[in-house]
Amino acid sequence: MKNKTSILIIYTGGTIGMIEDEKSGALKPFDFKHLLKHLPELKKFNLNIDSYSFNPLIDSSNMNPAMWVELAKVIQNNYEKFDGFVILHGSDTMAFTASALSFMLENLSKPVILTGSQLPIGVIRTDGRENLITAIEIAATRKNDKPLIPEVCIYFEHNLYRGNRTHKFNAENFSAFTSANYPPLAEVGVRIKFNNQFISNPIMDFLIVHTKLDANIAILKLFPGIEKNTIEAFSQIKGLKALILETYGSGNAPTDKWFLEALEKMIKKGIIILNVTQCKGGAVAQGKYETGASLYNIGVIGGADITTEAAVTKLMYLLGENFAIPEIKKLLKISLRGELTED
């Protein structure tokens, strides 16, 4: 007799895991060991469901690389015991965590689905109930006795997205996330429609977990009127190894001599500069206009259609692996986990 599919729910903290205290009425985290008490619908799944909670629980605004490492190790330590993983996480930094895990979990062959909610699960109108139930169902879905979604994903409000393609774009609506440059992996209505042509399939079946992340990076968002001293201040950051330059449109930036010279000086110091568009859809094409070609000519790397969240975590991963600068520049142009569209 085949064993039941098993799912591990990992609760990091965040809005979804809150219920009202019976005495005070205040919101408090609930004990996920009693998950079935609060969500009896889960009993209808023919699944073995277990849970693991961070201690202490954290607000997602406090998420950091050390906690990504803890998450990756929880998955690694339980990888052979469970068929899929559902991570409950605050929505504010969920796209960063999903992106980070996608790079840290190499050769992933099981679902790692992040979800959360805009309203606590203990509130009557919560979106957390549907998000959690569907995330579990997707994580447990198999085809030919293999997980159908062997990726790090975000499930939120009827859509399953590749995690490193997402961005939180709305703080008020239940549809909080978007994936402007990559289609949903699944769309949920009366039935779950899986878009199989967009789902990744691992070549190898053994998990490699990377736990060395280097956060010596910075983000510089351009705006009209940016001053020379602002640009130069970044070059003075002690230990800075990489700069994400958020440019206009398809990768455009000022062509002022002082601006280009300041960036070129940083590059000659060994600082990697990655060009990412401020737009939530579209891609950097540094040679399309003169204003972008100038960046290419001084050695700025074009980030194609990568999100800022994925750019941040990809750089942390590559720097943490201690690759040489030329190798990092090469890998930034290549899709390692489906995070960008190659030319």
* Ordered DSSP codes for 117-163: -SS-TTSTT-SHHHHHHHHHHHHH-EETTEES--SEEEEETTEEEEG
Q: How many CB atoms lie within 10 A of CB 184?
A: 19
152-156 sheet: strands from edge to edge: 47-53, 5-11, 84-88, 112-115, 152-156, 159-162, 186-188, 192-194
Does residue 211 carry a catalytic annotation? no
Distance CA 319, CA 215 (A): 8
Contact status, residue 280 vs residue 298, Cβ threshold 8 Å: no
Q: Which of 5, 12, 15, 166 is catalytic?
A: 15
Task: Tell me which DSSP letter residue 210 carries.
Answer: -
Contact status, residue 79 vs residue 106, Cβ threshold 8 Å: no
Distance CA 324, CA 312 (A): 18
Task: Tell me which DSSP letter residue 181 carries.
Answer: T
Vertex 276 angle, CA 66 and 111, to 5°:
50
The token duo for 6 is 């098993």
Q: For residue 237, give the amino acid letter.
A: I
Positions marked catalytic = 15
